[in-house]
């Protein structure tokens, strides 16, 4: 068998190192994109949670207002005093 020169092994090893570096670089770029996307998702989630809390508070306020109106309609003696039906 013919002997492979030493420089060929070095060249092959250098190519492998370059390929591994390129692969690692692509992985890092992908991780960076994922991290940025995760930040966006967290910001969006926080915004949506704030909006949902505001809607929940508004629903609670409207529910209390409906209860007050129903009570006012059920008590005709006080309804006239508040400008309701007499």
- Assess if residue 46 is contained within a domain: yes
Q: pTM above the 0.85 mark?
A: no
Task: Report which of 64, 26, 37 is spatially closest to residue 18, judged by C-alpha positions.
Answer: 26
The boundaries of the domain holding residue 31 are 25-86
- Assess if residue 16 is contained within a domain: no
- Assess if residue 79 is contained within a domain: yes
pLDDT digits (tens, 9 = 90+) for 12-71: 889 999 889 888 888 888 888 999 999 999 999 999 999 999 999 999 999 999 999 999
Split into its structural domains, the chain has a count of: 1
- Assess if residue 64 is contained within a domain: yes
């Amino acid at each position: 068998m013919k002997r492979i020169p030493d420089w060929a092994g070095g060249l092959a090893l250098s190519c492998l190192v370059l390929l591994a570096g390129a692969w690692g670089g692509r992985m890092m770029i992908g991780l960076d994109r994922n991290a940025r996307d995760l930040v966006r998702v967290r910001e969006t989630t926080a915004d949506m949670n704030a909006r949902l809390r505001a809607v929940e508070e508004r629903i609670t306020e409207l529910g209390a207002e409906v209860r007050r109106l129903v009570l006012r309609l059920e008590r005709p003696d006080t309804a006239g005093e508040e400008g309701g039906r007499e």
